[in-house]
Structure 1
Amino acid sequence: MNIKTGAQTTDKRDIIKWLIVMLLVGSGIVSFYYFDEKSVLIRVVSLLVLAIIAAWIASKTERGKYTLDFIHEAHIEVRRVVWPTRQETIQMTSVVLFMVVLLALVVWLLDSVLMSVVRLLTGHGG
């Protein structure tokens, strides 16, 4: 029974935090356009400050913690990737470009043959 109560309070707290995040982001966007006569630099800096505060509050929710963990694990996986060398990249790109040109020629040839057959069957053309 205590587990449900703890989960409900966490959910209520998260909902309140998400409402605060939405209010911060919304007020930042509205104020950005409302204070149109002010300097763009001031408006952008204030919008970024509100966005950073909103992101910090969002990171304190369950979903935010899950997202930060996911980003951290994705960063670890990217470091594990064995990236191809420059020579391998150039060779594979050359193979792909060659295959694209070859396929384009085959499609063009097939289109020309089919167009000739249709003209012959329909009586159009010379």
Structure 2
Amino acid sequence: MDRLKYLIALLLLAAGIAGYYVFGEWPLVARAAVVIAGTLAAAAVVLFATPAGARFLEFWRGTLAEVRKVAWPSRKETIQSTLVVFAFVTTMALFLWLTDKTLEWVLYDLILGWK
């Protein structure tokens, strides 16, 4: 029975793609809408009529429940964290630039004598 449902979904998807070519005189937006409609219809069949779709819906519900449990930071905490990260990245960039220029000076000017 599940194979029949997957076959129906595949046929809906194929019908959407075929519709793109059958209605070649239609504007591109309308033909793209036919493909999107076929894809959404196929996805709906798989999602609502198969055990794999039922497992996905259960997973999605669990995911939403977990997202509701998350303690999101306040605006102030978010801004402070962003500023700390920005300061750290700026400091590291300056440190790496200075290290690079120092090694360049030591290698090129002092050891190899290139100017």
Q: Could you tell me how far apart the structure 2 residues matched to 1:106 and 1:99 are?
A: 10
Aligned partner of 2:3 in structure 1 is 15
TM-aligned CA deviation for residue 19 of structure 1: 2.5
Let me know the Cα RMSD of the aligned residues: 1.8
TM-aligned CA deviation for residue 37 of structure 1: 1.5
Q: Give the aligned residue type for 2:70.
A: V
TM-score after normalising by structure 2:
0.84
TM-score after normalising by structure 1:
0.78
Higher alpha-carbon deviation: 102-111 or 30-39: 30-39
Secondary structure of the corresponding residue to residue 84 of structure 1: coil
1:65 aligns with 2:65: no
* Residues 2, 50 of structure 2: 8 Å contact kept: yes
Q: Could you tell me how far apart the structure 2 residues matched to 1:63 and 1:38 are?
A: 36
Equivalenced residues, count: 113
Q: Could you tell me how far apart the structure 1 residues matched to 2:14 and 2:107 are?
A: 61
1:122 aligns with 2:112: yes
Matches within 5 A, 1:35-114: 35-59=23-47, 60-114=49-103
TM-aligned CA deviation for residue 112 of structure 1: 0.5
TM-aligned CA deviation for residue 108 of structure 1: 0.2
